[in-house]
A and B are shown apart, each in its own frame.
Chain A
Amino acid sequence: MSEVINVPTMAEMMAQGKQPEVLFWVGCAGSFDDRAKKITKAFVRILNRANVDFAVLGTEESCTGDPAKRAGNEFLFQMQAMMNIEVLNAYEAKKIVTACPHCFNTLKNEYPELGGNYEVLHHTEFLKQLLDSGRLSIEGGQFKGKRITFHDPCYLGRANNIYEAPRELIQKLDAELVEMKRSRANGLCCGAGGAQMFKEPENGTKDVNVERTEDALETNPQIIAAGCPFCNTMMTDGVKTKEKESDIKVMDVAELIANAQDL
């Protein structure tokens, strides 16, 4: 695994008078959460390999405001949004890619009305584009023939009707893609959305992530693929609750692709 990764910032780019092809919006989970940081790095390795001219905001990035908006705090959301839009517009950002469906949804759907108009892509969509344009080749490697089930993140799937891009990437690995009984528009939430990630669940009979992990386990998978850092956490916890962590890995689609080619 190559350890040298190249991560330019927008500030550095600007100092050199350059405008990157795409801005990589890392997000809070991707920046701070130990598990999600691995996804961030995997994605960067792919970008480096495909020679994608990208940059991050680095310390100039701030929470999109998604959890505040879902919790009902429109004030905080709009303050975050307007600050971020000021920064993004100052750098004349045109195209943004992010590995977090929550950031993706907010940037894509909720920033335009506040003055932030960008082409926003989820990383699975962006990787699909790289693949289609021949800039990236995907080989199965260690995942050839493995049983992989994909958990649809609500904010990618139902919220934005993106179901195929992550699946097409998984199929490119020559893996056996198996569907859960509830998938695509019928997919069950992992339990983290709507700011639930940051609070204890209300009283009930079961945790949502356990219910969803049971769906995944029914497919008898070797890997549960996710496309969201929060889903990843919830499914990982679910697999641990079911004491299956030695048999089943929860991995982001970007990690699958990066690991398949030993990046």
Chain B
Amino acid sequence: MMYIDNLFFAILLSIGIGFFTINVKKLIRNINLGKDVDRSDNSSARWRNMAMVALGQSKMVKRPVAAFLHLIVYAGFIIINIEVLEIIIDGLFGTHRAFSFLGGFYGFLIGSFEILAVLVLISVIVFWIRRNVIKLKRFASNDLNGSPRKDANAILYFEIVLMSLFLIMNATDLQFQAMNNGNIISQHLNALFSGLDIAQVEVIERVCWWLHIAGILVFLNYLYYSKHLHILLAFPNTYYADLNAKGKFDNLESVTKEVKLMMDPNADPFAAQPVDENAVPSKFGASDVQDLNWVQLLNAYTCTECGRCTSSCPANQTGKKLSPRKIMMDTRDRLEEVGRNIDANKGVFVPDNKSLLNDYITTEELWACTSCNACVEECPVNISPLSIIIDMRRYLVMEQSAAPQSLNAMMTNIENNGAPWQYNQMDRLNWKDEN
């Protein structure tokens, strides 16, 4: 009988981890659909960034209430997971509380898990109230209509259920209660079950134990479909984030080559170009997810849709359609669509007459951006919606000549007379003699 339990547990665990591995592979494949960008430099600054921003949550403190509650859930998530290790050992080898030989230290561990579990429960309930009762502006936004809102609540329900199962499991574990070591919270819950006979309590304990580990495995596999993926991707995302000054926009090298050719009086425009076997006909800027770089795609998967970017965006605050959060959500949705297309067509993307531009993100949103970097500054995990906006503007301007009329006039002026307005370059020093 015992062996059947262990076997069943092993099967459950391998299915859970197996599916998760498949999803991780899909995630990596999708991110690699993006163009290459070199972020292998300056690893010490990158590790520091990751330690400060992801591990240390340094950018969360700007909003202290959310930061405090988030810190509890985050610490709870990491620390309570030590308990999962024991559950796995117990499950596989039929032991009961394999770590209990640690004695007083075990009591200390479990005691802290129980306290954290209660704090997590409280925090998650406050999170739920902020979303569903108080309806904070960034959570009530239209960006989240439909599945994103359900996703956000599903994560909270998951956490409530998992924490409750953990506490009930401990409360109904008679052996554990008899040890009276670390049952700091569960000893009080134990009274709830005092009317039941021992066999019934044991059944409740087993049911909670199994549901708890099964729930964890389901939650693990839910991540890929959820904004909750940030718990894993915040780390690589902060590591690979742009380290340059925020004002520095990347240089398009493909353009540099052409401009140099144009400006070189000795260049022969008809000279045969060296043939590059792997050369893809170059496209300037981005109209779809494959035109973005892999860090931008990683950004999209990392976004947890908290909406700090949108709430700080000057365009959004003044009623324009632009929402930096929506830019990230659209990028992920389109990337997922492209991924499903590849899955359905034996590993090859079959054009679907859709693109990130127009089908997801409209030009009206793109042209409303002031490039002020408020969204980039605000993001707790160093995502840059701005870089995607600029890459899409580049496509509109350089591939489609589709800039707003007034911007075309500005650019014509720069081209003709070296200033965005129609003034003669020869008059540039006139101010000196004017009064």
Contact = CB atoms under 8 A, between A and B. Distances in A.
Interface of A: 3, 5, 7, 9, 26, 28, 30-33, 37, 40-41, 56, 58-59, 61-63, 65, 67-76, 78-80, 82-83, 105, 108-110, 113-114, 154-155, 158-161, 185-186, 188-189, 191-208, 210-212
Contacts of A198: 406-407, 409-410, 420
Interface residues of B, number: 70
B374 A188 contact: yes
A179 to B, nearest CB: 16
Nearest to B367: A202
Nearest to A109: B248
Contact of B425 (A33, A59, A192): A59
A28 B413 CA distance: 11
Given A79-B262, A192-B370, A202-B367, A63 B247 contact: no
B22 to A, nearest CB: 38
Contacts of B406: 198-200
B203 interface: no
Contacts of A192: 370
B105 interface: no
Contacts of A161: 245
Nearest to B394: A72
Given A67-B414, A158-B377, A189 B429 contact: no
B339 interface: no
Contacts of A33: 421
21 contacts: A41-B431, A62-B419, A65-B414, A67-B410, A72-B397, A83-B263, A108-B245, A159-B246, A159-B247, A159-B248, A186-B312, A189-B370, A189-B372, A192-B370, A193-B371, A198-B410, A199-B406, A202-B315, A203-B321, A208-B315, A211-B317
Contacts of A75: 255, 258-259, 398
B372 A31 contact: no
Interface in B131-160: none
A206 B371 contact: no
Given A67-B420, A79-B263, A202-B321, A59 B414 contact: no
A101 B262 CA distance: 29
Contacts of B390: 70, 72
Contact of B429 (A59, A159, A191, A212): A59
B373 A159 contact: yes
A227 to B, nearest CB: 14
A71 B371 CA distance: 10
B285 A72 contact: yes
Given A59-B429, A191-B370, A72 B398 contact: yes
B392 to A, nearest CB: 8
A223 to B, nearest CB: 23
Contact of A32 (B249, B397, B423): B423
Contacts of A188: 314, 317, 372, 374
A40 B414 contact: no
Contact of B418 (A40, A63, A74): A63
Q: Determine which residue in B318, B321, B409, B429 has the highest number of CB atoms from chain A within 10 A of its CB, and name it.
A: B318
A189 B313 CA distance: 9
Given A71-B407, A76-B415, A203-B320, A109 B263 contact: no
Interface in B297-339: 312, 314-315, 317-322
Contacts of B370: 154, 189, 191-194, 196, 208
A181 B157 CA distance: 36
B256 interface: yes
A33 B320 CA distance: 28
B425 A62 contact: yes
Contacts of A65: 414
B249 A69 contact: yes
Contacts of B410: 67-68, 71, 195, 198-199
Contacts of B420: 28, 63, 67, 197-198
B255 A204 contact: no
Closest 7 CB pairs of A and B: A159-B247, A205-B319, A72-B393, A194-B371, A62-B418, A204-B319, A189-B372
A58 B252 CA distance: 29
A99 to B, nearest CB: 12
B432 interface: yes
A110 B248 contact: yes
B398 A74 contact: yes
B265 to A, nearest CB: 12
Contacts of A83: 263
Contacts of A203: 319-321, 364
B203 to A, nearest CB: 55
B260 interface: yes
A7 B397 CA distance: 38
Contact of B251 (A67, A110, A194): A110
Given A154-B370, A154-B373, A202-B364, A59 B431 contact: no
B171 to A, nearest CB: 46
Contacts of B364: 202-203
Contact of B255 (A26, A28, A70, A74): A74
A7 B434 CA distance: 13
Nearest to A5: B432
Nearest to B399: A72
Q: Determine which residue in B406, B415, B428 has the highest number of CB atoms from chain A within 10 A of its CB, and name it.
A: B428
B67 interface: no
B103 interface: no
B169 interface: no
Given A78-B259, A204-B315, A72 B418 contact: no
B18 interface: no
B102 interface: no
B284 interface: yes
Contacts of B72: none
Nearest to B423: A32
Contacts of A193: 370-372
A185 B377 contact: yes
B353 interface: no
B426 interface: yes
Nearest to A154: B372
B365 to A, nearest CB: 8
A1 B257 CA distance: 50
